[in-house]
Amino acid sequence: NAGVMQNPRHLVRRRGQEARLRCSPMKGHSHVYWYRQLPEEGLKFMVYLQKENIIDESGMPKERFSAEFPKEGPSILRIQQVVRGDSAAYFCASSPRREGNEQFFGPGTRLTVL
C-alpha cells in the first residue's frame, strides 16, 4: 500500500506564475488535508477536503489559493500569481476517517518563488 504521494517534490516559479501541487492520498483514504510549513514554524492548516467537497478552508488565504479533490485523480492545490511570500513547504495528509485518526503525510512539495 503506497503512502501519500506528492509531486513535484520541488517546484520553482517566478513571481506571477501559477503553481500546481498534487497529492494522491493513501488507498482507501477519502479525507485530504493541506498544510503549509515555513522555516522555524509549525504546520499551518490550509484546507480540508473530502471527495469532490471542500469541508473546511478556514486556513486558506482568500485570494490566489484554491484546492480541489475531484472524484477521480489527485487533490490539487493551486496558487495563482505566486509571490515570494508563498515560498514554503506544502504538505498533504490523508486519513480514512475524519475524527480521532492519525494523518498520514506525504513528503511535501517545496515551492521556491524567485
Partner 1 sequence: AQSVTQLDSQVPVFEEAPVELRCNYSSSVSVYLFWYVQYPNQGLQLLLKYLSGSTLVKGINGFEAEFNKSQTSFHLRKPSVHISDTAEYFCAVSNPGGSYIPTFGRGTSLIVHP
Residue ranges that bind partner 1, judged by CB under 8 A: 4, 6, 33, 35, 40-45, 48, 56, 91, 93, 98-100, 102-108
Measured CA to CA, the distance from residue 69 to residue 89 in angstroms comes to 20
The residue among 13 and 36 lying less far from partner 1, judged by its C-beta, is: 36
Closest distance between partner 1 and the C-beta of residue 51, in Å? 17
In the complex, least distance from residue 90 CB atom to partner 1, rounded to whole angstroms: 11
Calpha distance 86→108 (Å, rounded): 14
Q: Nearest distance from residue 21's CB to partner 1, in Å?
A: 13
Q: Which residues pair with 88 in a beta bridge?
A: 111
Q: Which is nearer to partner 1, 44 or 51 (CB)?
A: 44
Q: Which residue number, 72 or 102, has a Cβ lying nearer to partner 1?
A: 102
Pick the closer one to partner 1 by CB: 17 or 57.
57
